[in-house]
Amino acid sequence: MCHNESMEETKARKNLLLIAWLIFIAEFLGIIGYYWLFDGYSGEASLTISRYVGLNPVTSIVFCICNLAIIVLMAYHLMTRSKAQGFIWRFLTYCFIAAFMAVSICPHTPDGGTSSDIHQFFAGIMFVIMALTSLLNIFSSSAKNKARLIYAVTFTIYALFFIVCDLFKVQWFMNGIFWYETAYLFGYFSLLMLS
């Protein structure tokens, strides 16, 4: 925590991330729940979250609107926390926000096309940024707390596992990509909350 940041400011800043996380959980449960309960995809783990979202224009729009709210909260969090972190952390966070915006605006539609290509490109960048942020967390001053350090190391190892398996399209991994991706995204939000 920065010396200039009071406990109240820290709590308010973390509450922004908590609200963003709750929005993500709500959109995640709503969209996946719809497809699993009402559209015949129950338990289908070979589709990514983005593939589920892109199945229908309505879910794509809901995803985009919710994510834009998350982006606003994250951007505000970044602006209020900028004094507490170094340049590299701020740069990675800005890059994450930009990639997340591109992923949100361009759905991964079943028929492919430009929107899907843009989505996949920026999703890959986003996942790499998440891994780099975790790696940076290991070496940052905030990692002096042992629990944070252990979590950052664990998440970094998982991030490398995820990226390598996704890059090489390992069959057993791709068959359960939904669960691995969900763990990755929720793990990253947890990392931000602990930072």
At 118-127, the pLDDT tens digits run 999 999 999 9
Residue 2 in domain? no
What's this model's pTM, rounded to 2 decimal places?
0.90
How many structural domains are present in the chain? 1
What is the pLDDT at residue 2? 45
Q: Exposure pattern of 7-32 as b/e (b: 16+ CB <10 Å)?
A: eeeeeebbebbeebbebbeebbeebb
Average pLDDT over residues 14-36: 94
Give the domain range for residue 36. Answer: 7-194
Q: Which two tokens stand for residue 47?
A: 């589709």
CA 181, chain centre distance (Å) = 9
Contacts of 13 (CB under 8 A, 6+ apart): 5, 77, 80, 81
pLDDT above 60: residue 27: yes
Residue 120 in domain? yes
CA distance 98 to 87: 16
Q: How far is CA 88 from CA 40, 81, 94, 173, in A?
A: 44, 13, 10, 31
pLDDT above 60: residue 23: yes
Report residue 3's pLDDT band, with 50, 70 and 90 as the boundaries: very low
Residue 13 in domain? yes
Which CB contacts under 8 angstroms, 24+ apart, belong to 28-35? 28/182, 30/62, 31/59, 31/62, 31/63, 34/59, 35/59
Residue 1 in domain? no
CA distance 9 to 134: 23
Contacts of 185 (CB under 8 A, 6+ apart): 24, 49
